[in-house]
Structure 1
């Protein structure tokens, strides 16, 4: 593709050189440069791509997109100076693949909790209704049922556009995507054309990156601020920041809620371990999903489908058939009659939601044992809150490892323990080895008791000192319950 075509809609400051040159590839990683490449030098949080401009030219780059011109100008290279290289990369990536998201109805879902569940359920609903759909989530990447390799993070903008382009070629009509605060803040979704933006909720998380809660809110809000007039914005009015998110959005605004007046309403009529009965926009339906947080997720999915113009009866019929997402309040009962719940809850708010859901269903004739920890190299402010919540709301809280990464797991657990209120000290145990913690829970549990294993959910590894070791909470719980005949 010619350079001038790749630069369509890019905000340019200066061009030095030939814009009619033929570009064979686009890269932002200097290690992947080949002859005929356009290299985008980004000012990253840890590495500055401008430091690799000369190396990229030596490797064959013929065009450099940058925010600062290098001191030495190579006469055989075209230099394109822009205000923001990351935004330019997004637009260039879209142009490179013929703007695939203009041909798809792209739905972006952001929030602290529920992104993965809501995205996956929306994908499953649309597919079950017969619409070829794309899913971009932190768990899986699917194009109309075909799975793509996933690194459990949002793909870079070049990879995203390549996937979306292939989806268009395969006849996909919709795309559903998790939108993270990191991705928004770093302009890693620039150039994508969203038809619907969805806000689920916001609670304290990622403060290791954003530093303050205000900055975290600002990052989420940026997504809605940048939606075009042609887009629709859907927000959860029960979250106190739900209205704030859409304050400056040019998109047409819609809302959903369980507790306040909104465009889309739901009410929980019954809540049991095998499912819920919901009243959704005046219609009753049963779902195998459990808990208030899933009521919000389902209401968001329903709202999206209605905003897409799909018939309400069809939506409700297929919505009632949707099953839980792996690692999200995933339950199984052992032969010994012990209920295990595997959940990804790794923030205080998410853990409280799961514990409240259990409290609302249980009979109080059984013990609730909660196994929980906190990841290393992440937001430390939530650690004591997690400890406090688990000890207060369970008969027994077992604190254990959860991806300690480069940190000492014992030190992490001390910070978790620090939040426990004195009257609940006797309700806690500290067992660093996660498998041993689950084993202990089963040894102490009796028929009818509930074991909540929180924090890892769908993950199948433990990351320790830079090495990922296989570890699956569900697999481990099932294995131990069989070994112990419980």
Structure 2
């Protein structure tokens, strides 16, 4: 694309060079830059992209976007200064890929818990209804039937626009995307046109980054402020923050609830059993839904997906069929079955609220003992560590504390802060730092009809220890451990 055209409607200052040149690609990683690419220097938290401008030029960059003054300019290179590189990156992506969202219905889902499951359910409904759909989120990115790796909940803006362009090319009408608070604060979805925004809930999370719950909530609300008047918001009426999100929303407002008839969609009654749930819905849709997912929290997730799909024009019969066919959501209350005589569940719950939800569900299940394994991530909100210990003591018959993703933090320090949440008399726990050994221990001590819950890492296939990635999938380790029992 011609550089002049690429910069259309973007505020910038030309510091050096010519705008009469052709740009072949946009890159924010200097290692990926090739001939005639534009390099966007982003001021990161750990690494400043401005330091890699020389490397980008060496690799072939012919235009540089910067938000800082450059001390030395190279001839033949165009230097463009902007106020915010991240925000400009989203605008550049829209221009370079010629606004693919004009032909796509994009649905954004945000909240502390439930984003992944709600997105996964809605994706399956829209795929059933339209024959093809796209999903962007924590577990994986999917366009039609092509799976793409996912390194973060919400990809960078340029990567998203590249995906949207692929959707347009393959005539994929619907895109379902998890939208994290980091993505909203770091302009990854800035200026994007959403057909709908879905709110699940808010509880304390990422306070190491946002500092206060009020800041966190305000950032979450930006997705709804971004809605045009003719678009719509789907809001959890039962969450205490529903009114706040409603006030911030720029679109039409619709609500779902467990049992409030004031909501646009609610349940008339529900039944939870060990292998799933069923309920009748009331409001916009009166139907019977059967899912192979457990827990009241998954009733909320399914209601959000049902209401959103209905507002997008999907018939109830198609929604019923799609939801009934979902076996499980990877790493979300996922059952591991190797033929053992007890149950193993792996779940991503890594916040006090998420942990409380899954443990309350476990408490309602028929079982002998409840064995819980959990840990807390390093370099993250420390206040949740004792809170999660309190929940384990309250609900579990036996607890194993192990590493989650310590990152750069000392695991022993994390364990000490977790232990501070246990009462002085509490003794039904042990600490096993090695996650693999801890999972094996949990499986080995399980007896007939026990329920073993492995919490915190869910679908993750790597553990981050000393900021190095180590291959570790809780599901795989649990399956292998269960298979080894008595030669199963």
Instruction: Bin the TM-score by the shorter chain.
Output: over 0.9
Q: Which residue number corresponds to residue 278 of structure 1?
A: 279
Structure 2 distance, partners of 1:139, 1:292, is 22
Find the partner of 2:320 among 303, 316, 322: 316
Find the partner of 2:396 among 377, 389, 394: 394
Secondary structure class of the residue paired with 1:246? helix
Alignment of 1:28-39 (within 5 A): 28-39=28-39
Structure 2 distance, partners of 1:405, 1:46, is 14
Q: Which residue number corresponds to residue 480 of structure 1?
A: 481
* Aligned-residue offset at 1:383: 0.8
Structure 1 distance, partners of 2:193, 2:312, is 15
Alignment of 1:26-425 (within 5 A): 26-53=26-53, 56=56, 60-70=60-70, 76-260=76-260, 261-281=262-282, 282-333=286-337, 335-362=339-366, 366-423=368-425, 425=426
Where in structure 1 are there 5+ consecutive unaligned residues? none
Structure 1 distance, partners of 2:32, 2:331, is 36
Structure 2 distance, partners of 1:30, 1:336, is 50
Q: Which residue number corresponds to residue 9 of structure 1?
A: 9
Secondary structure class of the residue paired with 1:247? helix
Normalising by structure 1, we get a TM-score of 0.92
Structure 2 distance, partners of 1:45, 1:440, is 38
Secondary structure class of the residue paired with 2:247? coil
* Aligned-residue offset at 1:406: 2.3
Distance 1:80 1:397, change over 3 A: same
Distance 1:438 1:47, change over 3 A: closer
Count how many residue pairs are aligned between Structure 1 and Structure 2.
483
Distance 1:299 1:21, change over 3 A: same
Contact 1:255/1:262 (CA < 8 Å) preserved in 2?
A: yes
Secondary structure class of the residue paired with 2:427? helix
Kindly provide the CA deviation profile for residues 269-298 of structure 1, in whole angstroms up to 9, marking residues without a partner as x. 211111111122232222111111110111
Contact 1:34/1:61 (CA < 8 Å) preserved in 2?
A: yes
* Aligned-residue offset at 1:231: 2.4
Kindly provide the CA deviation profile for residues 27-54 of structure 1, in whole angstroms up to 9, marking residues without a partner as x. 2234444443333233333344445556
Secondary structure class of the residue paired with 1:410? helix
Structure 1 distance, partners of 2:48, 2:388, is 36
Where in structure 2 are there 5+ consecutive unaligned residues? none
Structure 1 distance, partners of 2:464, 2:44, is 25
Contact 2:196/2:232 (CA < 8 Å) preserved in 1?
A: yes
Distance 1:35 1:480, change over 3 A: closer
Contact 1:385/1:419 (CA < 8 Å) preserved in 2?
A: yes
Kindly provide the CA deviation profile for residues 130-155 of structure 1, in whole angstroms up to 9, marking residues without a partner as x. 43211111211111111123334533
* Aligned-residue offset at 1:77: 4.5
Q: Which moved more, 1:237-246 or 1:67-76?
A: 67-76
Secondary structure class of the residue paired with 1:327? coil
Distance 1:130 1:309, change over 3 A: closer
Instruction: Let me know the Cα RMSD of the aligned residues.
Output: 2.4
Kindly provide the CA deviation profile for residues 100-155 of structure 1, in whole angstroms up to 9, marking residues without a partner as x. 12211111111111111111121122112243211111211111111123334533
Structure 2 distance, partners of 1:168, 1:58, is 33
Structure 1 distance, partners of 2:470, 2:65, is 40
* Aligned-residue offset at 1:83: 3.0
* Aligned-residue offset at 1:242: 2.2
Kindly provide the CA deviation profile for residues 190-243 of structure 1, in whole angstroms up to 9, marking residues without a partner as x. 242211111111111112222222221122112222222232111112111122
Contact 2:69/2:81 (CA < 8 Å) preserved in 1?
A: yes
Contact 1:141/1:147 (CA < 8 Å) preserved in 2?
A: yes
Kindly provide the CA deviation profile for residues 302-331 of structure 1, in whole angstroms up to 9, marking residues without a partner as x. 011011011123222322222210111112
Structure 2 distance, partners of 1:41, 1:442, is 48
Structure 1 distance, partners of 2:374, 2:359, is 12
Distance 1:432 1:72, change over 3 A: closer
Normalising by structure 2, we get a TM-score of 0.92
Structure 2 distance, partners of 1:316, 1:148, is 27
Kindly provide the CA deviation profile for residues 3-25 of structure 1, in whole angstroms up to 9, marking residues without a partner as x. 22212232446676644432222
Q: Which moved more, 1:434-443 or 1:110-119?
A: 434-443
Q: Which moved more, 1:270-279 or 1:73-82?
A: 73-82
Distance 1:7 1:274, change over 3 A: same
Q: Which moved more, 1:288-297 or 1:406-415?
A: 406-415
Kindly provide the CA deviation profile for residues 411-459 of structure 1, in whole angstroms up to 9, marking residues without a partner as x. 2122111101235x12222222223323333333321111111111112
Q: Which residue number corresponds to residue 457 of structure 1?
A: 458
